[in-house]
Amino acid sequence: MYSEIEQTLIHELDDVAGNLVVPQAPALPSAPPGRSRWQSAAPLLVAAAVVVAVLATVVTMLSMSGPDRVEPMPAPSPSPTVDDGPVSRAAPQAPVVVSGALFVGGERVPGRWGGVEGSGTHWVGVRIDGSWWWGFDAQPQMMEGAMDQPPVISPSGGYEARILSEGSGRLLVGADTEYGGEGFGGVDLPGAVQDPKPRVAAVTDDGLVVARGADFQIVWRPLVNTEIVDLAETAPGEVVIGNTGAGLIVTKGTYLGADGTQGEPYLARLSPDGTLERLGNVPTHDVLEASEQWLAWVPPGTVGGEASGTTELRVQRVDGSSDGLLKPPDGWLFVAPGFQWETDDRLLGLVVTQDGVDEGLVRCRPEPAACVLVDLP
């Protein structure tokens, strides 16, 4: 349907076109000297120009016709890609430990293992004897020095950092995880022996290291100028809990949990100057892992004490556009912590039988939700 102003303009255009007299084109056998055929056809061009001018006026008036004007269609928002194909059972492409066996890049690493963190073929892990190792493939490299707290590896697996115990002092050190493991040197941490022991809270993919103790929280910048920045000055009242593929997990106050007891947890990006850029809230949780696209977590009170198994994991797109639940195959429970994002939209999860006897590994797709047992080498 046309608006009232559009109908009026259409009628006026019909009247102009109906009353327009176009002179008959004269015969043009040849043009006399000094006069071209374009000049001879001038009446026709004038008539055409009138029509064009009227049309231009109509278009202009329609574009200014207030609320009834025709607006251009907005560009459609890109829809998230949904993969509804079968979930692969192939060997995991991220480091995992299942029943004491460590698998890296589809190969089994020698030894008996208690846990691992990493991405791709880059990892840090602990054997059941308490010794710590690292690697860029399936060949383990031993970490030297005494540690009171576990080392931490960056989300993409490119860097690691840890705190060494040296008598009454503590030394923060780090290295890349490529061949040779080039070191970053080290910095002495402030204060005397503390309880709880100082630990590395996060290592970013830019090589920034966050370390904290009972009365300090700093950023070490080994790839910038090796200096440290005091987060009490650049991000007062904020505490870094850990890091994920989508950013640091941060909360307020001094409480180190993300269960909502003190402030709401959120994702943040850390700058070399020590400032935190808030990226968005995350749910309160006992355990949370994030890729650039998805969150997976268990809510507060799910695990703790003797309880580490759960019948479901909650998932949500980082932008909050959709959410859901992941359930393991029948007869299995998810272990938390024990799940990680293998890719932006594939989750690997350690599972255990309900009687606690056997362990397995599942690969899950968050949307549409599906989990299958993985074939291990």
Q: What is the pLDDT of residues 250-288, one digit of tens each?
A: 998 876 789 888 889 999 999 999 999 999 999 999 999
Residue 66, pLDDT > 50, answer no
Residue 55 has pLDDT above 50, yes or no: no
pLDDT at 348 over 90: yes
Sorted by sequence, the CB contacts under 8 Å of residue 94 that are 6+ apart come out as 118, 119, 120, 340, 341, 342, 348
Q: Give the residue-averaged pLDDT of 10-19.
A: 52
Closest by CA position to 322, among listed 365, 285, 362: 365
Taking alpha carbons only, the member of 116, 112, 147, 110 closest to residue 134 is: 116
Q: Strand (E) positions, 214-312?
A: 216-220, 228-230, 238-244, 247-252, 266-270, 276-281, 287-290, 294-298, 309-310
**Beta-carbon-side half-sphere exposure of residue 272 (alpha carbons within 13 Å):** 9
Region 3-16 average pLDDT:
52
- In this structure, what token pair is assigned to residue 190? 């402030």
Is residue 27 predicted with pLDDT exceeding 50? Answer: no
In one-letter notation, the amino acid at residue 277 is E
pLDDT at 179: 84
Mean pLDDT on 215-228: 94
CA angle, corner 241, sides to 236 and 242, nearest 5?
Answer: 125
The CA–CA distances, whole Å, from 340 to 297, 303, 324 equal 10, 17, 17
CA distances from 210 to 38, 143, 262 (A): 79, 20, 21
How is residue 308 written in tokens?
Answer: 């580490």
pLDDT confidence tier of residue 11, bands split at 50, 70 and 90 = low
Q: Residue 241: is its pLDDT beyond 70?
A: yes
Other C-beta atoms closer than 10 Å to the C-beta of 309 total 20
pLDDT at 299: 95
Residue ranges of domains in the chain = 88-143, 285-377
DSSP state of 178: S
Does pTM surpass 0.75? yes
CA 373/CA 351 separation, integer angstroms: 9
Mean pLDDT of the chain: 83
d(CA 232, CA 215): 10
The set of residues, in sequence order, having a beta carbon less than 8 Å from that of 191 and lying 6+ positions away, is: 213, 214, 215, 216
